[in-house]
């Protein structure tokens, strides 16, 4: 694995390897001193052209816990706001010796260009591109599901999600999280159902490895993990549904709906949440919600990705030196 651009690039064994590595690394976060020397002397650049708090600090924490040097570049207030494009920014970072570039960009495909046009020699990690993909979010979601839904004492180590039923609800149209999850969960053997109003399902969804439904209520009883998506107001310039109230009534998760999940069913959300819109506050704070855990797991999963991309290539260099 040289880059992580799409959740669809991973085969089952590669994905399980990342999850197993994350399982080992999760222990580091529980120690008083949360640091490993693994990536000492290596440089990770966080290149964020689109606003993000949680994903950027998650990657930053992950890189720092592996002792890498971290450079945070956010487009606001930088030369990108003076019109410098992705290419020149990447060449600048390359000149500074970036070993990995974690990139978030408003344009779908930006990380692929960075990797394939070889504007950087480092490993490229897609941290969210437009409405396209967000592979590390899918990995942390799969990791969280595996810990809760597989009944192995080692938190599912070695296992995939074969036969698990995952329902993803809401603004699929604008969601890179939904696409990456659909691809990865399919690879891991899970059955995915997307639930959304017809206006919020993308054209071509029939080619995704999923089932679709317009009816949340009919899917609840057969769901092991229920993932609520944020309604992405900033990407909507049209009326996709009649009103916020109407959306919540049909597609929002309240306690009554949550109680129809099977006893072991978990509730997930990638954040940031619109409380009262796609998810009610009491569901978000309930015992079935694993939303805070997703954030914790995100650091371990990103550590695993950086470790496998950079640690692995370092070993190869040592081998050939």
User: Could you tell me the strand order of the sheet in which 165-169 lies?
Assistant: 211-213, 191-195, 165-169, 225-228, 266-268
135 alpha-carbon distance from chain centroid? 5
> Which residues of the shown chain bind ligand NCD in the complex (CB under 6 A)?
52, 54-55, 128, 134, 137, 176-177, 230, 232, 270-271
Q: Which is closer to ligand NCD, CB of 151 or CB of 234?
A: 234
d(CA 267, CA 229): 11
List of residues 6+ apart from 163 with CB closer than 8 A = 189, 190, 191
What is the nearest approach in angstroms of ligand NCD to the Cβ of residue 134?
5
Residue 71, beta-bridge partner list: 45
* CA-CA-CA-CA torsion sign (255, 259, 260, 265): positive
H helices of the chain, where? Answer: 12-29, 54-65, 86-95, 110-116, 135-149, 176-187, 244-251, 255-258, 281-284, 291-306, 312-320
Residue 194, beta-bridge partner list: 168, 212
What is the nearest approach in angstroms of ligand NCD to the Cβ of residue 6?
14
What is the nearest approach in angstroms of ligand NCD to the Cβ of residue 270?
4
Among 118, 95, 97, 107, smallest CA distance to 2 is for: 118
Q: Which is closer to ligand NCD, CB of 7 or CB of 159?
A: 7
Residue nearest to ligand NCD (CB): 230
Tell me the CA end-to-end span of the chain in Å, nearest whole number: 20
What is the nearest approach in angstroms of ligand NCD to the Cβ of residue 221?
26
Give SS3 for 169. strand
130 alpha-carbon distance from chain centroid? 13
d(CA 84, CA 67): 30
What is the nearest approach in angstroms of ligand NCD to the Cβ of residue 299?
13
What is the nearest approach in angstroms of ligand NCD to the Cβ of residue 289?
16
Find the helix packing angle between 54-65 and 291-306, rounded to 10°.
50
Q: Which is closer to ligand NCD, CB of 68 or CB of 231?
A: 231
Residue 45: phi and psi, rounded to 5, are -105, 125
What is the nearest approach in angstroms of ligand NCD to the Cβ of residue 164?
22
Q: Which is closer to ligand NCD, CB of 9 or CB of 171?
A: 171
Q: Which is closer to ligand NCD, CB of 52 or CB of 213?
A: 52
What is the nearest approach in angstroms of ligand NCD to the Cβ of residue 86?
18
């Amino acid at each position: 694995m040289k880059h992580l651009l799409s959740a669809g690039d991973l085969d089952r064994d590669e994905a399980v390897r990342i999850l197993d590595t994350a399982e080992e690394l999760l222990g580091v976060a529980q120690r008083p001193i949360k640091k490993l020397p693994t990536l000492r002397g290596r440089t990770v650049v966080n290149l964020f052209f689109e606003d993000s708090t949680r994903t950027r600090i998650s990657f930053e924490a992950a890189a720092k816990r592996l002792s890498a040097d971290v450079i945070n570049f956010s487009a606001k207030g930088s030369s990108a706001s003076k019109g410098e494009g992705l290419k020149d920014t990447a060449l600048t970072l390359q000149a500074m010796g970036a070993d990995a570039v974690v990139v978030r960009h408003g344009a779908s495909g930006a990380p692929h260009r960075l990797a394939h046009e070889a504007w950087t020699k480092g490993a490229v990690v897609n941290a969210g591109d437009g409405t396209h993909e967000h592979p590390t979010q899918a990995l942390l979601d799969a990791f969280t599901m595996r810990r809760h839904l597989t009944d192995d004492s080692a938190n599912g180590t070695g296992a995939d999600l074969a036969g698990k039923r995952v329902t993803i609800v809401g603004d699929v149209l604008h969601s890179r999280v939904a696409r990456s999850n659909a691809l990865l969960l399919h690879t891991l053997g899970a059955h995915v159902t997307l639930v959304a109003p017809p206006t919020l399902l993308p054209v071509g969804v029939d080619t995704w490895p999923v089932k679709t439904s317009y009816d949340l209520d009919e899917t609840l009883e057969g769901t092991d993990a229920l993932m609520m998506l944020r309604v992405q107001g900033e990407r909507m310039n049209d009326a996709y549904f009649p009103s916020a109230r109407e959306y919540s009534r049909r597609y929002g998760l309240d306690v009554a709906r949550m109680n129809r999940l099977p006893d072991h069913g978990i509730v997930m959300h990638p954040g940031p949440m619109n409380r009262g819109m796609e998810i009610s506050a009491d569901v978000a704070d309930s015992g079935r919600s694993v939303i805070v855990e997703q954030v914790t797991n995100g650091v371990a999963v990103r550590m695993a990705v950086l470790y496998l991309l950079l640690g692995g290539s370092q070993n190869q260099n040592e081998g050939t030196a």
